[in-house]
Amino acid sequence: MKYNIRGENVEVTNSIKEYVERKIGKLERYFDTPPASDVNVNISVYNDEQQIEVTIPMTNLLLRAEEQHIDLYAAIDLVVDKLERQIRKHKTKVNRKFRQQGAPKHVFAELENEALKAREQEEFDDDELEIVRTKRFDLKPMDSEEAVLQMDMLGHAFFVFENSITGNTNVVYRRRDGRYGLIEPS
């Protein structure tokens, strides 16, 4: 694997590079042959919080995870744990599918060949898209500043309201950088 490590608002030192390469390199144990893909790592610092985003594009499979933490090394460990879970979940899914078709148990060696083609065909499982709760409420006409105040008062990350000026349904939300965004229909 080739590593492309970038830093935003932070200098990527040799020790950080070595730590990232060593931790992500441990993912190779899940493959019979190490994947010949690039590993894109983006490390950034916002509001005294370290964020790491890792993307590993492979043949018909994209492994991606991001994590935020006060300590950069802890964030790296957490993002590697997420990537491991994704690989294990995919391995289980592939093995289950091939077991049902009567194939041998150790199918993961052929992951980048046949199994990924099957994954493309079934992008979403019906059981993964289960709605577990429905809420209904009346939209109160207000301006966007009042909606932001309501959202903060409720402790939510977003708030749906009727714009008192346009009469359209809008959404205000809290961005990761701590500022606010507004979604309006066109």
The domain tally of the chain equals 2
CATH number at residue 75: 3.30.160.100
SS3 label, residue 22? helix
Note whether residue 20 is domain-resident: yes
Residues 34 and 122 both lie in one domain: yes
Residues 122 and 149 both lie in one domain: no
Residues 145 and 121 both lie in one domain: no
Q: CA 63, 69, 70: angle at the middle one, nearest 5?
A: 150
Confidence of residue 118 (pLDDT cuts 50, 70, 90): low
Residues 116 and 165 both lie in one domain: no
Residues 11 and 79 both lie in one domain: yes
Q: Which pLDDT value is given to residue 173?
A: 93
Mean pLDDT across the chain:
78
| pLDDT tens-digit map of 45-97 | 888 888 899 888 876 667 888 888 898 889 899 999 988 888 887 777 666 66
Q: Which pLDDT value is given to residue 126?
A: 44
| pLDDT tens-digit map of 147-162 | 888 887 777 888 899 9
Residues 118 and 158 both lie in one domain: no
Residues 109 and 26 both lie in one domain: yes
CATH number at residue 147: 3.30.505.50
Note whether residue 174 is domain-resident: yes
Note whether residue 59 is domain-resident: yes
Note whether residue 133 is domain-resident: no
Residue 121 scores a pLDDT above 60? no
Note whether residue 107 is domain-resident: yes
Residues 76 and 162 both lie in one domain: no
Which of these ranges, 13-27, 42-56, 120-134, 138-152, has the smallest mean pLDDT?
A: 120-134
Task: Residue 164: give the domain boundaries.
Answer: 141-183
Note whether residue 132 is domain-resident: no
Sheet holding 49-58, edge to edge: 2-8, 38-46, 49-58, 61-69
Residues 19 and 81 both lie in one domain: yes
Residues 114 and 158 both lie in one domain: no
Q: Which pLDDT value is given to residue 106?
A: 42
The secondary structure of 73-105, three-state, reads: HHHHHHHHHHHHHHHHHHHHHHHHHHHHCCCCC
SS3 label, residue 138? coil
Note whether residue 136 is domain-resident: no
Which range among 108-112, 134-138, 151-155, 181-185 has the greatest average pLDDT? 181-185
166-183 average pLDDT score:
90
